[in-house]
């Protein structure tokens, strides 16, 4: 038990609740337990450590990996039979297609001496994926104890609340257990727990304190914080290694690390710069500002007509079709903005997002914004399609609708302005919203 | 290759000879009925040889261009993998997240070229990093199941390929059951079985890993669905320890797409580093430089054809592959259409071939416009000799070809020099790229153009250091050539350079000289002084007080101007240029930039264009009643508005069809009526099939028109 306390920090209440639920080995436990909580709140870790230290027979399955029913069921059965058999003999792989088979096979597997008299635990991690599988799966697992008539408990781990799971046909209600987020104190305690061997625990705890001061507002993910802590620790130690400051010289150390951490928040935390690049920068002691992040490369080089097609698509997406006359006809006369449009068109189109437009409208606008004559060659049409594959345009409706396909333009205003600038086209003049 | 087919406008003749499994030898396709040339076989062989040379040249170029990118990629892969292998005992490594190393490869929007890059990348990686390389496409992976299925099967293939048969017997997972679990256990067994063996067999330095990484290339990442990517990354990050995976994302647009596709929870599992390939415009510049702007290959392209090719590239697709295909097509067309293209080969070979030219071919030479122009300039005795004696003609042709060769040698050298001069000018009056300059020079005398004049003016204002660097570059260009023709020019450029260098020293002396001159004026009376001062002023105005530097600059510019005027003559002025220049730009455009809508409209609106039936010839606007039914219906529908009344349409159709018979016989039998009605219905349904009209529910007995224009 003491080992458990050392391994699991700040989750005493949950651990004791679970232990109470599990009871003695041969006791029948609650048929299904639903554990939920935010990312990195220790659900998986606590369950796994608990089951391992108590040496309870259990099967741990991650539902992301088992994207089909069959994979999921077979994995459970195979792991169970491996539990059963001694190490030397390799059990044959079972095949199991339906839940019905699963119940039957489950009975067979758990009928052995090993598992007969104790509760078997099936843990389904990332249980939210179960909702996308067959409809009978979740209710089935919830009452697995009843269906198989065996001493079994199914534990679901999920980041989503139980209410989002409940099928509308009704089902057996599991025992719901909530893992609350770690508080800042908890995080401090857990993160300081595993300090590097060459430094004292206090020194590392002080570092963690500074780290949390910077990152706690944006990130409470324990894994991520731990990752960041390791990445930036060498920088924190630098003055100590160089002999410029002692381990207790917290102020000096703080002044050294704080701007560095802030920079890390803008770059490596967002994965603008990869962690290996960050480490390299730290080692070479260069300014991280020099390395451009991923988002800095927004420029896309496009063929000349593709640029115009994109501009035309943008105009078609954000201008009401009725205003096309005004923008693209020479003698359009004056149209006042206020009384010309219906009421709903008066709100900014940029707030409403892009609207679908037919291909013909796109081509008509294209012909009027390009200075030279554009022949409707096969290349122009294939360019439209390649813009769709580049995700700069999207096709509305089904792909195989051949007559009158509709598109939407998905690029941002900044992007299209940059494109328009390269071809000397003043797009703002043609946008109804900016009139 | 005779096109008796209707589809004149959009028929692409793929010059992919090897794949055709017909008993006819390929050369026979080269027989052009119109030209009746007996050299077709020879021409084909010449074409083939020349193309092989050009192709290997381009491949080599592309390899060199990609080398940098690949090297840094390999570096990244090796480093991240050896990091992974090395320090797992370290404290930091235990605590850190296990990130999947990911290379984001930005390749530009020319998706068609990516395949080639990926293919050579795969090859390079196989040679240097790991045998396990899988490349996946979005269309193969609609969900995680297919993703893993594809991954597994490809992975096992690449293992079986090189290795012995024993590996095959290692248990492979069941067909239906692909999971990451089975995959990683398979990997472990295979890597253990083959690992040590491979290190001996495979090459040198870094591949001594027990567990080589598995590289997955995702081609065109934009088209992958987010769910598949996310799930796969989550799954594989859980198996990171036993399945050392490295991802390569092929990105066509910009790396922001990664953030758009993957939420932070997933992207935090990746260690993404960016790699950027050469921009395709630079790529094109290099290809042009090495293939066309050189005397190495005898084949040349005229201005119009070159413009068609570059326009397709710049305006439409940015695809290098397509550009090279276009080049290949022009080469093929040239050898097919021009009987004298037998002479389009290296000079010694061409000279040999001239000796064996047939009477017909000699006649062909005489018919060439450029040759005729040349003959007209000769003395009358020689004219007669050239036009009557084949031997004289052949000798002359040899000389002319030699001249043409020399002309090209000099042409490109001078062109490069001129480009060095003009490419640094503000606003680039003659274009920033050498291809633009080349196009202007190909068309006509470049020195007659306004841009050239303004460029010269700007050149006359250059500063000394700029001028010197330009001259230095020109000197390098000229010096690099092996020919002796421009030897004196090279010397001259060198002289200019030394003169500029000496200028600093000279300038001091010059000042002194000025000073002494003014001293000489002192002892005169006022009148003379006034007069001489006036004279000096006049003198200064006319010479604009030229310093030595300005004089030298003037000299350099004039020298350049002279060079241009004597060497950059347009190719049309050269006799026999037709032999090496391909100029049929319109065929190129027809083949490469087809306009299906226009072709369809022409076929329906003016059936004579394709059917060549004299009876169909008609004036603009009227409809001949013997035209195919669909044409009549189409023409009538052009006159309608958005919705077409079927009854009116059918009546108009009947009127047109029976127009001729009406004169003879005013009443039409019931049977005839029914036939006409049936013909109308068939025509309308054909139009519907072609997508010109569609049924509508807006109005009864109406169809909606899907085309615009016409009325």
What DSSP string describes A51-101? HHHTT--EEEEETTT--SHHHHHHHHHHHHHHHHS-SSSPPPPP---SHHH
Query: Is the pLDDT at B32 greater than 70, yes or no?
Result: no
> CA B616 to CA B619: how far, in whole Å?
10
Q: In this predicted model, what pLDDT tens digit does every residue of B116-147 receive, in sequence order?
A: 889 999 998 888 888 888 999 888 888 888 88
Of A233, A271, A303, which has the smallest distance from its Cβ to B317's Cβ? Answer: A303
Res B197: pLDDT: 47
- What percent helix, strand, coil does chain A show, rounded to 5? 55, 10, 35
Give burial (CB, 10 Å; 0-12/13-18/19+) of B421.
Answer: buried
Q: CA–CA distance from B243 to each of A50, B127, B161, B236 (Å)?
A: 27, 21, 20, 8
Alpha carbon of A64: minimum distance to chain B alpha carbons (Å)? 7
Residue with tokens 């993910």: A221
Do B177 and A297 make contact, defined as CB atoms within 8 angstroms?
Answer: no
ipTM of the complex: 0.89
Res B166: pLDDT: 44
Alpha carbon of A66: minimum distance to chain B alpha carbons (Å)? 7
Instruction: Pick the residue from chain A with its C-alpha nearest to B180.
Output: A65
Of B145, B259, B281, which has the smallest distance from its Cβ to A68's Cβ? Answer: B145
End-to-end CA distance of chain A: 73
Query: Check: CATH 1.25.40 for A304-329+350-430?
Result: no
Q: In this predicted model, what pLDDT tens digit does every residue of A215-270 receive, in sequence order?
A: 888 888 888 888 888 888 888 888 888 887 777 788 888 888 888 888 888 887 77
Alpha carbon of A62: minimum distance to chain B alpha carbons (Å)? 9
Q: In this predicted model, what pLDDT tens digit does every residue of B505-538 receive, in sequence order?
A: 665 555 544 444 444 445 567 777 788 778 877 7
Residue ranges of E strands in B529-651: 581-582, 643-645
- pLDDT-above-70 percentage for chain B: 81
Domain chopping of chain A, boundaries: 1-178, 184-296, 304-329+350-430
Q: A248 at the B interface (CB within 8 A)?
A: no
Q: In this predicted model, what pLDDT tens digit does every residue of B616-627 receive, in sequence order?
A: 777 666 777 788
Instruction: Pick the residue from chain A with its C-alpha nearest to B318.
Output: A303
Residue A229: both structure tokens together = 């802590």
For range B684-708, the mean pLDDT: 85
Alpha carbon of B425: minimum distance to chain A alpha carbons (Å)? 21
* Torsion sign over Cα B535, B537, B540, B541: negative
Instruction: Pick the residue from chain A with its C-alpha nearest to B227.
Output: A64
Res B545: pLDDT: 56
For the stretch B281-313, what's the b/e string if a residue is b when 16 or more beta carbons lie within 10 angstroms of its beta carbon?
A: eebbebbbbbbbbebebbbbbbbbbbbbbbebb
> CA A15 to CA A24: how far, in whole Å?
15
Q: A39 at the B interface (CB within 8 A)?
A: yes
Of B79, B83, B238, which has the smallest distance from its Cβ to A62's Cβ? Answer: B238
> CA B298 to CA B277: how far, in whole Å?
31
Of B92, B315, B597, which has the smallest distance from its Cβ to A305's Cβ? Answer: B315
For range B63-81, the mean pLDDT: 88
Name the most confidently modeled range: A72-81, B107-116, B285-294, B676-685: B676-685
Could you tell me how many residues make up chain B?
Answer: 711
Q: In this predicted model, what pLDDT tens digit does every residue of B346-395 receive, in sequence order?
A: 888 888 888 888 888 888 888 889 999 998 888 888 888 888 888 888 88
Say which range, A48-62, B23-37, B181-195, has the weakest mean pLDDT: B23-37
Assign B189 a pLDDT band (cuts: 50, 70, 90): confident
Which of A97, A25, A11 is closest to A58 using CA atoms? Answer: A25
| Residue B5 C-beta-side C-alpha neighbours within 13 Å | 10
Do B317 and A71 make contact, defined as CB atoms within 8 angstroms?
Answer: no
Which of A96, A110, A30 is closest to A68 using CA atoms? Answer: A96
CB B342 within 8 A of CB B135: no
Res A340: pLDDT: 57
Do A64 and B259 make contact, defined as CB atoms within 8 angstroms?
Answer: no
> Quick check: helix, strand or coil at residue A111?
coil
Q: In this predicted model, what pLDDT tens digit does every residue of B586-620 receive, in sequence order?
A: 888 888 888 888 888 888 888 888 888 877 777 66
Between B122 and B177, name the one with better pLDDT: B122
Res A203: pLDDT: 86
Q: CA–CA distance from B175 to each of A348, B170, B172, B181 (Å)?
A: 55, 15, 9, 14
Res A89: pLDDT: 56
pTM of the predicted model, to two decimals?
Answer: 0.82
> Quick check: helix, strand or coil at residue A247?
coil
CB A70 within 8 A of CB A180: no
Residue B391: both structure tokens together = 């031997």
Which residue ranges in chain A fall short of pLDDT 70? 1-2, 86-92, 286-291, 331-346, 400-403
CB B607 within 8 A of CB B665: no
Of A66, A304, A390, which has the smallest distance from its Cβ to B314's Cβ? Answer: A304
Q: Residues of A with CB below 8 A from B274's CB?
A: 294, 297
Instruction: Pick the residue from chain A with its C-alpha nearest to B237.
Output: A65
Q: Residues of A with CB below 8 A from B595's CB?
A: 375-378
Which of A83, A118, A77, A119 is closest to A98 using CA atoms? Answer: A77
Beta bridge partners of A33: A155, A175
Candidates B84, B89, B96, partner chain A, best to mutate (most A CBs within 10 A): B96
Q: CA–CA distance from A348 to each of A318, A327, B472, B629 (Å)?
A: 9, 17, 59, 51
Residue B171: both structure tokens together = 């248990």
Beta bridge partners of B215: B133, B246
Res A36: pLDDT: 92
Do A304 and B80 make contact, defined as CB atoms within 8 angstroms?
Answer: no
Query: Is the pLDDT at B660 greater than 50, yes or no?
Result: yes
Query: Is the pLDDT at B26 greater than 90, yes or no?
Result: no
Tell me which architecture the domain covering A1-178 has in CATH.
3-Layer(aba) Sandwich (3.40)
Q: A62 at the B interface (CB within 8 A)?
A: yes
């Amino acid at each position: 038990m003491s080992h458990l306390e050392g391994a699991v920090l700040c989750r005493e209440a949950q651990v004791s609740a679970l232990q109470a639920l599990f009871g003695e080995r041969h006791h029948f436990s609650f048929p299904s337990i639903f554990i939920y909580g935010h990312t990195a709140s220790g659900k998986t870790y606590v369950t796994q450590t608990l089951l391992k230290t108590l040496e309870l027979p259990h099967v741990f399955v991650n539902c992301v990996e088992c994207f089909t029913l069959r994979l999921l069921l077979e994995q459970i059965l195979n792991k169970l039979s491996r539990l059963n058999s001694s190490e030397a003999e390799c059990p044959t792989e079972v095949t199991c297609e339906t839940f019905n088979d699963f119940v039957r096979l489950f009975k067979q597997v758990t009928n052995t001496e090993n598992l007969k008299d104790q509760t078997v635990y099936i843990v389904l991690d990332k249980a939210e994926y179960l909702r996308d599988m067959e409809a009978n799966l979740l209710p089935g697992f919830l009452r697995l104890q009843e269906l198989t008539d065996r001493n079994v408990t199914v534990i679901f781990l999920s980041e989503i609340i139980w209410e989002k799971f409940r099928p509308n046909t009704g089902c057996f209600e599991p025992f719901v257990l909530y893992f609350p987020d770690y508080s800042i104190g908890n995080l401090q305690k857990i993160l300081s727990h595993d300090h590097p061997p060459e430094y004292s625990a206090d020194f590392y705890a002080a570092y963690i304190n500074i780290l949390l001061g910077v990152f706690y507002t944006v990130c409470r993910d324990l894994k991520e914080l731990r990752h960041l802590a390791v990445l930036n620790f060498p920088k924190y130690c630098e003055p100590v290694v160089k002999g410029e400051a002692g381990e207790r010289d917290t102020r000096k150390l703080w002044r050294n690390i704080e701007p560095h951490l802030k920079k890390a928040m803008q770059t490596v935390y967002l994965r603008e710069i990869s962690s290996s690049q960050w480490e390299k920068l730290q080692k070479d002691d260069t300014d991280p500002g020099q390395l451009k992040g991923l988002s800095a490369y927004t420029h896309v080089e496009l063929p000349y007509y593709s640029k115009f097609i994109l501009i035309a698509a943008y105009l078609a997406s954000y201008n009401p079709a009725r205003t096309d006359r005004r923008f693209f006809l020479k003698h359009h006369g004056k149209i006042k903005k206020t009384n010309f449009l219906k009421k709903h068109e008066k709100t900014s189109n940029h707030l409403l997002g892009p609207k679908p437009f037919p291909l013909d409208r796109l081509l008509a606008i294209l012909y009027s914004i390009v200075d030279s004559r554009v022949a409707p060659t096969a290349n122009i049409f294939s360019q439209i399609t390649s813009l769709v594959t580049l995700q700069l345009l999207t096709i509305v409706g089904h792909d195989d609708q051949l007559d009158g396909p509709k598109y939407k333009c998905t690029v941002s205003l900044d992007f299209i302005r940059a494109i328009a600038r390269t071809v000397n086209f003043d797009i703002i003049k043609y946008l109804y919203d900016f009139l | 290759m005779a096109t008796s087919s209707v589809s004149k406008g959009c028929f692409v003749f793929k010059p992919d000879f090897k794949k055709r499994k017909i008993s006819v030898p390929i050369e026979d396709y080269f027989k052009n009925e119109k030209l009746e040339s007996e050299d077709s076989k020879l021409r084909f062989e010449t074409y083939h040889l020349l193309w092989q040379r050009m192709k290997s040249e381009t491949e080599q170029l592309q390899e060199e261009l990609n080398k940098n990118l690949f090297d840094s990629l390999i570096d990244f892969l090796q480093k991240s993998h050896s990091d992974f292998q090395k320090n797992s005992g370290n404290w930091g490594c235990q605590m850190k997240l296990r990130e999947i190393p990911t290379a984001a490869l930005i390749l530009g929007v020319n998706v068609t070229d990516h395949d080639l890059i990926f293919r050579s990348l795969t090859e390079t990686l196989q040679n240097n990093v790991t045998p396990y390389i899988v490349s996946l496409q979005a269309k193969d992976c609609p969900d995680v199941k297919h993703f893993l299925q594809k991954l597994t099967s490809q992975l096992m293939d690449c293992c079986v390929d090189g290795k012995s048969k024993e590996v095959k017997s290692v248990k492979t997972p069941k067909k239906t059951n692909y999971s990451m679990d089975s995959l990683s256990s398979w990997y472990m067994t295979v890597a253990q079985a083959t690992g040590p063996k491979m290190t001996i067999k495979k090459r040198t330095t870094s591949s001594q890993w027990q567990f080589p990484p598995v590289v997955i290339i995702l081609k065109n990442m934009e088209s992958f669905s987010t769910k598949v990517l996310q799930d796969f990354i989550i799954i594989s990050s859980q198996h990171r320890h036993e399945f050392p995976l490295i991802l390569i994302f092929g990105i066509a647009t910009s790396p922001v797409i990664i953030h758009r596709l993957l939420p932070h929870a997933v992207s935090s599992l990746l260690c993404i580093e960016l790699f950027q390939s050469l921009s395709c415009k630079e790529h094109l510049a290099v290809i042009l430089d090495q293939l066309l702007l050189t005397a190495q290959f005898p084949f040349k392209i005229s201005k119009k054809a070159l413009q068609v090719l570059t326009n397709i590239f710049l305006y439409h697709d940015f695809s290098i592959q397509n550009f090279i295909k276009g080049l290949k097509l022009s080469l093929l067309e040239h050898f097919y259409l021009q009987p004298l293209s037998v002479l389009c080969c290296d000079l010694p070979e061409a000279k040999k071939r001239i000796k064996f030219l047939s009477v017909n071919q000699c006649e062909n030479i005489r018919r060439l416009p450029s040759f005729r122009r040349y003959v007209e300039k000769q003395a009358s005795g020689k004219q007669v000799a050239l036009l009557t004696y084949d031997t004289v003609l052949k000798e002359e042709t040899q000389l002319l070809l030699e001249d043409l060769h020399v002309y090209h040698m000099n042409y490109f050298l001078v062109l490069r020099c001129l480009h060095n001069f003009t490419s640094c000018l503000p606003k680039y009056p003659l274009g920033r790229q050498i291809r633009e300059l080349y196009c202007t020079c190909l068309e006509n005398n470049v020195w007659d153009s306004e841009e050239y004049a303004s460029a010269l003016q700007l050149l006359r204002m250059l500063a000394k250091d700029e001028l010197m660097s330009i001259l230095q570059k020109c000197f390098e260009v000229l010096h690099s050539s092996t020919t002796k023709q421009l030897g004196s020019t090279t010397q001259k450029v060198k002289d200019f350079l030394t003169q500029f260098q000496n200028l600093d020293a000279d300038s001091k002396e010059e000042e002194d000289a000025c000073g002494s001159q003014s001293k000489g004026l002192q002892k005169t009376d006022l009148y003379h002084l006034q007069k001489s001062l006036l004279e000096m002023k006049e003198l200064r105005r006319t010479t604009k007080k030229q310093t030595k530097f300005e004089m030298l600059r003037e000299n350099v510019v004039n020298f350049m101007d002279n060079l241009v005027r004597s060497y950059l003559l347009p190719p049309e002025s050269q006799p026999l240029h037709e032999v090496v220049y391909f100029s049929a730009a319109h065929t190129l455009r027809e083949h490469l930039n087809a306009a299906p809508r226009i072709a369809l409209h022409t076929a329906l609106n003016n059936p004579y264009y394709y059917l060549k039936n004299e009876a169909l010839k008609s004036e603009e606007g009227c409809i001949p009643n013997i035209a195919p039914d669909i044409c009549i219906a189409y023409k009538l529908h052009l006159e309608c508005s958005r919705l077409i009344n079927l009854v009116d349409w059918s009546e108009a159709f009947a009127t047109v069809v029976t127009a001729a018979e009406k004169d003879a016989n005013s009443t039409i039998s019931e049977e005839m009526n029914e036939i006409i009605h049936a013909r109308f219905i068939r025509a309308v349904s054909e139009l519907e099939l072609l997508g010109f009209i569609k049924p509508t529910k807006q109005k009864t007995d109406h169809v909606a028109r899907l085309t615009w224009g016409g009325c």
